[in-house]
Amino acid sequence: MFSKKKEKIQIDPLQRELYEHARKRVNQKKGLFRHFIVFLVGSVFFVILNLLFGFGKHITFFGADWYIVAILIWVFLLLIHLANVWLFHSFMGREWTDRQMERLIAKQKAEIELIQKDVELMYPKTDLMKKKEEFIQSKKEEELKLPKKITMIAAAAENNALGKENDLVWHLPDDFKRFKQLTSGHYIIMGRKTFESFPKLLPNRTHVVITRNQDYKAGGAIVVDSIDKALQAASPDKSPFIIGGGEIYTMGLDYADYIELTRVHGEFEADTFFPEIDLSKWELVKEEFHDTDEMHKYPFTYLTYKKRT
Ligand SMILES: NC(=O)c1ccc[n+]([C@@H]2O[C@H](COP(=O)([O-])OP(=O)(O)OC[C@H]3O[C@@H](n4cnc5c(N)ncnc54)[C@H](OP(=O)(O)O)[C@@H]3O)[C@@H](O)[C@H]2O)c1
């Protein structure tokens, strides 16, 4: 509930003075305007009375009709009023208000300086800078700590076969489509041999190639000499993919958070194999079966594993 107790508002005396003067000035001007209107209406009234009814014709002062004298005296009073407002009270005009404003500003500046000195006493500048740097550093560290989702993506047969003579041993168009869909727009990390198994760069993906060869040139791809460096290179991506082959998958198990494995139902002769998935370390969180059809000679299942924490 609101308290009905009136709060005592502290008004700066200087501001109050400024306001009071402004109010008086407005009233003065209003008074002068009223005087002028009454004078105008009164004079016209007297003139009409005189012309229509001969009012005041027989009473004269120093040879003039009395009402003319009255009007002249009134003019004189109006002029005195005018002079009083515009000449004698000119100190309340523009110059005066400007001076008041300057005094006010100077006062506020002095108060700000005092507050600044207080702040500097409490928090010396060097401490403030230090605190600022610490804050920026902690923010950076927080960003680095953000959970990054690293996924290994592979297609392996029941006997873990991956490929033979640097090529795949099956053709599963839907699995290719899924691979493209999941990895598009991301960094893809691969071993030199897998990279060389591609006829060209995969579109809309950033390739990171791991090799021990310091002079290795892979046009359009980032070349590194370890999986750590590959992941560092992929740091702009919150969810990079490790896409093979066998040697890199084996190392990748320690780094990955997820495995998207297409388990091809069959056994194949191969020279490269996917590492065994230890179910005490990995939890199967999703599976989706795909049967054979005219485009797919072998049945397969999409399996999603999540690393246990
Ligand atoms: N089925 C699938 O999902 C799938 C996916 C990808 C690939 N594959 C298949 O897998 C086969 C290729 O796999 P792979 O195991 O033979 O080769 P790979 O893993 O693609 O590449 C191996 C190469 O990576 C580099 N490398 C490995 N360990 C390294 C380390 N610790 N530090 C620096 N560089 C390192 C070496 O390059 P240097 O020799 O240049 O030093 C090594 O020869 C192909 O048959 C391919 O078709 C299958």
Instruction: Find the 128 Cα to ligand 1 centroid distance in Å.
Output: 52
pLDDT at 168 over 70: yes
pLDDT band, very low/low/confident/very high, at 295 (cuts 50, 70, 90): very high
Residue 188 lies in a domain: yes
Whole-number pLDDT of residue 101: 78
DSSP string, the chain: ----SPP-----HHHHHHHHHHHHHHHHHHHHHHHHHHHHHHHHHHHHHHHHH-TTTT-EETTEEHHHHHHHHHHHHHHHHHHIIIIITGGGSHHHHHHHHHHHHHHHHHHHHHHHHHHHHHS-HHHHHHHHHHHHHHHHHHHHHS----EEEEEEETT-EEEBTTB-S---HHHHHHHHHHHTTSEEEEEHHHHHHSSSPPTTSEEEEE-S-TT---TTSEEESSHHHHHHHTTT-SS-EE---HHHHHHHTTT-SEEEEEEESS----SEEPPPP-TTTEEEEEEEEE---SS-SS-EEEEEEEE--
Range of the domain at 204: 151-307
| 303 & 216 share domain | yes
Most confident of 80-84, 124-128, 261-265: 261-265
Atom number of ligand 1 nearest to Cα 246: 15
Indicate whether 102 belongs to any domain: no
CA of 219 to the centre of ligand 1 (A): 18
Does 141 have pLDDT greater than 50?
yes
Ligand 1 close to Cβ of residue 170 (< 6 A): no
Same-domain check for residues 173 and 298: yes
Are residues 80 and 166 both part of a single domain? Answer: no
Which residue, of 92, 118, 137, is where some domain finishes?
A: 92
- Asked if the structure places residue 133 within a domain, the reply is no
Residues 49-65 have pLDDT tens digits of 888 887 777 777 777 77
Ligand 1 centre and the CA of 273: distance in Å?
A: 11
What's the gap in Å between 193 CA and the centre of ligand 1? 5
Whether 190 and 269 map to the same domain: the answer is: yes
159 shares its domain with 230: yes
Mean pLDDT of 198-213: 97
Q: How many CA atoms lie within 13 A of 166 on its CB side?
A: 9
- Average pLDDT over all residues of the chain: 87
Q: Is the pLDDT of residue 176 over 80?
A: yes
- Do 295 and 162 share a domain, yes or no? yes
Instruction: Identify whether residues 183 and 288 lie together within a single domain.
Output: yes
Does residue 270 share a domain with residue 160? yes
Query: Does residue 189 fall inside a structural domain?
Result: yes
CA of 231 to the centre of ligand 1 (A): 16
* One domain, residues 157 and 225: yes
Mean pLDDT of 166-179: 95
Q: What pTM was computed for the model?
A: 0.62
What's the rounded mean pLDDT across residues 262-287? 97
- Answer for the pair 298, 262: CB distance below 8 angstroms, yes or no: no
**Domain C-terminal end among 41, 67, 92:** 92
Give the position of tokens 């500046």.
109
Is 302 in the same domain as 215?
yes
Give the type of residue at 70.
A
Q: What is the CATH number of the domain that holds 293?
A: 3.40.430.10
Pocket flag, ligand 1, residue 188 (CB < 6 Å)? no
How, if at all, do strands 241-242 and 151-157 pair? parallel
Atom 44 of ligand 1: nearest residue by CA position: 166
Tokens at 128, concatenated: 């403030």
Q: Is residue 1 part of a domain?
A: no
Of the residues 92, 127, 162, the one at which a domain ends:
92
Check if the beta carbon of residue 183 is closer than 8 Å to that of residue 200.
no
Query: 55 exposed, middle or buried (CB, 10 Å; 0-12, 13-18, 19+)?
Result: middle
Rounded to whole angstroms, how far apart are CA atoms 269 and 85? 111
Q: Does the pLDDT value for residue 8 go beyond 60?
A: no
Are residue 246 and residue 158 in the same domain, yes or no?
Answer: yes
23 or 260, which is more confident = 260
Give 73 Cα–ligand 1 centroid separation in angstroms: 115
Does 262 lie in the same domain as 181?
yes
User: What pLDDT score does 3 carry?
Assistant: 45
Find, among 199, 197, 206, the residue nearest to 230 by Cα.
206
Residue range 296-308: average pLDDT? 97
Beta carbon of 210 within 6 Å of any ligand 1 atom: yes
**Whether the CB of 270 sits within 6 Å of ligand 1:** no
Split at pLDDT 50, 70, 90, the class of 93 is low
Cα–ligand 1 centroid distance for 181 (angstroms) = 23
Ligand 1 within 6 A of 163 CB?
Answer: yes
| Number of independent structural domains in the chain | 2
**What integer pLDDT is reported at residue 2 of this predicted model?**
43
Q: Which residues pair with 282 in a beta bridge?
A: 307
Establish if 208 belongs to a structural domain.
Answer: yes
Report which of 204, 267, 195, 207 is spatially closest to residue 241, judged by C-alpha positions: 207
Pairwise pLDDT comparison (309 vs 287), residue with the higher score: 287
> CB of 240 closer than 6 A to ligand 1?
no
Residue 117 included in any domain: no
Specify if 267 maps to a domain. Answer: yes
> Which one-letter amino acid corresponds to residue 253?
L
